Amino acid sequence: MQLPSTLLENAVAAFAKLPGIGKKTALRLVLHLLKQDEEVTIEFGEVLQKMRKEIKFCQRCFNISDGTICSICANSGRSKEMICVVENIRDVIAIENTQQFNGTYHVLGGIISPLDGIGPDQLTIEPLIERIKKDKVTELIFALNPTIQGDTTIYYIQKKLADSTCRITTIARGIAFGGELEYADEMTLGKSISNRQPVQQYIK
Amino acid sequence: MQLPSTLLENAVAAFAKLPGIGKKTALRLVLHLLKQDEEVTIEFGEVLQKMRKEIKFCQRCFNISDGTICSICANSGRSKEMICVVENIRDVIAIENTQQFNGTYHVLGGIISPLDGIGPDQLTIEPLIERIKKDKVTELIFALNPTIQGDTTIYYIQKKLADSTCRITTIARGIAFGGELEYADEMTLGKSISNRQPVQQYIK
């Protein structure tokens, strides 16, 4: 596809780098912006740049946050003794939408996956262990995607907590193998939190 | 969907304003940008803003252009006496990709559609009439989508050119390559029969 302008070409290439957006869709988006007033595009760029520059991650749970502590950790109505461990921020949003969980979260930033070069050190496992000790956490709920990598991560963290009295559970397998948390319907996801199982029972 | 940060919310809302992008896709795109280095987002915003600020429209054909005249109009190898009238820039790109047309274009910027509040004055019809007179255009080819609005636009422009000697044609309507006769709509099939072509002309 040959485009009549290098400016256009660069803009299309920028959009086409985003996941799930091909060159044709990118062109459609750029031409849409061209049809709008100039300010629309200026603002679009500024909003994204401001977001990227100013967004912070909560120092306790590594969720996205406007300040140093996210709104969930700062909420005194939420139990600090119950931590739900998730892979990424999208999972936090998905679980929050079920309104079934009143504890706090811990965002690992990924799962252990040696094939992708992701080991325990790249994840926020150390801060999680510290939090469990410091906050006298009574229950740790794993809400990871049901894959081998997810199970490996659960196994690794559980081993690390061998001498802890903390109860360790996982969300119930209401979600099909190979499924993605963020696409699960709220009913299934909500049930899978209230029916969480002890890890011993799950792993055996 | 409740998001943990207003910065994130604004960025998601900005993406979700684009056509064909819902809130979930927007969130995925924003989180993708968050995973990349900060410069990726800064550059993404800058490329779009630069494109919107600096892009020009060709003063002859209203195609997108880096300068005052687009590369197609500036190309001396292309016939200025043959103008293909299209609705928008995407149509120019589509026809250019066929490599079957060696004339120039004229981008109307839309088609006459009273229901959407688009009349002849919002389109570039006046400049087209002037071009036809000035450049002694011998053939005007309409390549508009085959809708009532498209036909209305053709009819309107043709009326305006009643006293011109310019030949006025439209791209052929018929059965698409790879299309099945039995599934073609009656309108298309009917037109393709009444506009039948000599086989010699078809096969050459």
The CATH number of the domain holding residue B50 is 1.10.8.420
pLDDT at B194: 80
Do residue A44 and residue A85 come from a single domain?
A: no
Residues in A touching B18 (Cβ below 8 Å): 29, 32-33
CB–CB of A65 and B2 under 8 A? no
Low-confidence ranges of chain A (pLDDT < 50): none
Q: How many domains is chain A built from?
A: 2
Residue A129 lies in a domain: yes
pLDDT at B83: 93
pLDDT at A190: 79
pLDDT at B108: 93
Residue B81 lies in a domain: yes
pLDDT at A175: 61
Domain limits at B152?
75-171
pLDDT in tens, B65-123: 888 888 899 999 999 999 999 998 889 988 888 888 899 999 998 999 989 898 999 99
Residue B162 lies in a domain: yes
Å from A186 to nearest chain B CA? 11
Residues 6 or more apart whose Cβ sits within 8 Å of residue A34: B51, B52, B55, B64
Question: What are the CB-based long-range contacts (under 8 Å, 24+) for B134-139?
Answer: B135/B80, B135/B81, B136/B81, B137/B80, B137/B81, B137/B82, B137/B83, B137/B166, B138/B81, B138/B82, B138/B166, B138/B167, B139/B81, B139/B82, B139/B83, B139/B103, B139/B166, B139/B167, B139/B168, B139/B169
Residues in A touching B6 (Cβ below 8 Å): 66
Provide the whole-model pTM: 0.73
Residue A67 lies in a domain: no
Q: CATH no. for residue B135?
A: 3.40.1360.10
Residue B37 lies in a domain: yes
Do residue B48 and residue B83 come from a single domain?
A: no
pLDDT at B184: 79
Low-confidence ranges of chain B (pLDDT < 70): 200-204
pLDDT at B103: 92
Give the DSSP letter string of B27-92.
HHHHHHHHHS-HHHHHHHHHHHHHHHHH-EE-TTT--EESSSS-HHHH-TTS-TTEEEEESSHHHH
Residue A184 lies in a domain: yes
Give me the residues of B, 73-92, that contact A with CB < 8 A: 88-90, 92
Does A10 contact B at CB distance below 8 Å? yes
Could you report the predicted ipTM of this complex, rounded to two decimals?
0.76
Give me the residues of B, 24-83, that contact A with CB < 8 A: 24-25, 27-34, 38, 41-55, 63-66, 70-72
pLDDT at A26: 94
